[in-house]
Structure 1
Amino acid sequence: MQNEIIVVGYQAYNFIPSLVVGEIEMIEFYLDLTEIDCLIFTSKNAIRSLEKSATKYPSMEIWKTIPSYVIGEMSAKTLQEFGGRVEYISTSSHAQDFCKEIAGFLAKKKCLYLRGEEIASSLDQTLLKHGILLQSQIVYKNRCAEVLDAQPPPNGSYLIFTAPSAYRFFSSLFAWNSTYTAIALGKTTFSAFDQRINKILSPFQNIQKTIAFLKSQ
């Protein structure tokens, strides 16, 4: 396949052309975690923010002993790198499927959902409807990056979007070219795409596996 593949998101990668359109702002916070039975993460950014706050408030280091329920291989990997306790990794990249998978495990447990300021799903509300004892904490913000003198991707590009906000920020910075194909790493990102564009839901949540998949087509 001759079409250029570009990852659009929050960081540059050394193995593939990248377009950084967003930035993450970590929000410092303090919580007493002694009565929390489990942690819920749908983003590796939430894990990083928790670790940053725990570095400032040592009593929060207890988070690494609390069972964590996560979406995606990358979130699980980030959790393990910080020494967290992975209890469950979702088989789905969609928050609503994740909710159905974990609801039965969380009954009668005090759960803490660490999340971004803006989320594309209603995971917290859905868990509450299932009777889960849930507390939510906003721990980071997404914001559009200042992209100076950046050229739009060439015609025919395959654009891998790492999050719904990455697609939104890209669309605010560049006019959508009808020759582009948008690639989503998860169902939530896929659902954020405009219905009129060319789009593909990757069978993988991993960037490198998605690249290999596109090159095999």
Structure 2
Amino acid sequence: MLIYLLNKTPFEGVKNLILNEIIFFDIKLNLDHYDALICTSKNALIALEKNKIPLNLDMQIYTIGDSTACFAKQLGFKNIKIAKKSYANEFFKEFKEELKNKKCLYLRAKNIASSLNLDLKNSGINLDEMIVYENIFKSSNEILIHPSVFIFTSALSVENFLKNYSLHEDDIIISIGNSTAKKLLNFKNLFVCKKQSIEECVALAKKLAFKTPF
């Protein structure tokens, strides 16, 4: 079976299906005003880089996902904490007490699937938010083959896919996490990856692709 990945990250034996475009906003920011930086996507850090924001490399960075943490390290940040579980609600539970004594900045997309920002504020955390990028729909004329394995890496990737295509009953669907899976509950053959990682999703897809179709 063919494997489609709704993400631009290249993998051998996987076809990338790009139905989105990231738009970065022009921002001005002084990171010295904050004790902690919250980034749930690598795109938030890319926005800092694109806007040539002076980096406070000693500030505490809180991330979701290994890729975001690795990129923060590449930029030179020294104090990086990664949530044990790659879900916004688990991030909140893990760090809410630790963040209460800090002035925090959450760099985020225009549209987010979780309520992390509200949860943090409602728990009394001193939090500023800054919208630094937007993920917008990009149509495609590519003809898809069914049945195939489809890997969805965000709730928005599901929404963008369904604007352009439909899933067939015998397709296999892989979701990177629970928030994304909520958009796919009406479809059969849905698998939620145990670890919120594109690499893990692809590994699962390759296992399922060589099994007997449902």
Using the size of structure 1 for normalisation, the TM-score is: 0.88
* Residue 6 (structure 2) aligns with: 8
SS of residue paired to 2:31: coil
Superposed counterparts of 1:86-101, under 5 Å: 86-101=79-94
- CA drift at 1:142: 0.6
Is the 1:95–1:188 contact (alpha carbons within 8 Å) kept by the matching residues of 2? Answer: no
- CA drift at 1:118: 0.2
Call closer, same or farther: CA 1:150–1:12 in 2, change over 3 Å.
farther
Superposed counterparts of 1:57-206, under 5 Å: 57=53, 60-62=54-56, 64-147=57-140, 149-152=141-144, 154-206=145-197
CA deviations over 1:46-95 (Å, ceiling 9, x no partner): 11112211x2x4xx322x32110000111111211222234310122211
- CA drift at 1:181: 2.1
Is the 2:69–2:80 contact (alpha carbons within 8 Å) kept by the matching residues of 1? Answer: no
The size of the alignment, in residue pairs, is 207
Is the 2:175–2:191 contact (alpha carbons within 8 Å) kept by the matching residues of 1? Answer: yes
Output the aligned Cα RMSD: 1.7
Is the 1:79–1:86 contact (alpha carbons within 8 Å) kept by the matching residues of 2? Answer: no
- Distance, in Å, in 2 between the alignment partners of 1:111 and 1:137 is 11
Is the 1:95–1:121 contact (alpha carbons within 8 Å) kept by the matching residues of 2? Answer: yes
User: Where do 5+ consecutive residues of structure 1 fail to align?
Assistant: none
- Distance, in Å, in 2 between the alignment partners of 1:118 and 1:197 is 27
- Distance, in Å, in 1 between the alignment partners of 2:20 and 2:125 is 33
* Residue 211 (structure 2) aligns with: none
- CA drift at 1:14: 4.6
Is the 2:174–2:205 contact (alpha carbons within 8 Å) kept by the matching residues of 1? Answer: no
- CA drift at 1:184: 1.2
- Distance, in Å, in 1 between the alignment partners of 2:69 and 2:206 is 26
Q: 1:45 aligns with which of 43, 46, 61?
A: 43
Call closer, same or farther: CA 1:125–1:101 in 2, change over 3 Å.
same
Letter in 2 for 1:88: K
CA deviations over 1:151-170 (Å, ceiling 9, x no partner): 12x22211111111111101
- Distance, in Å, in 2 between the alignment partners of 1:86 and 1:165 is 30
User: Where do 5+ consecutive residues of structure 2 fail to align?
Assistant: 209-214
After the TM superposition, which of the residue ranges 41-50 and 109-118 deviates more from structure 2? 41-50
Letter in 2 for 1:49: A
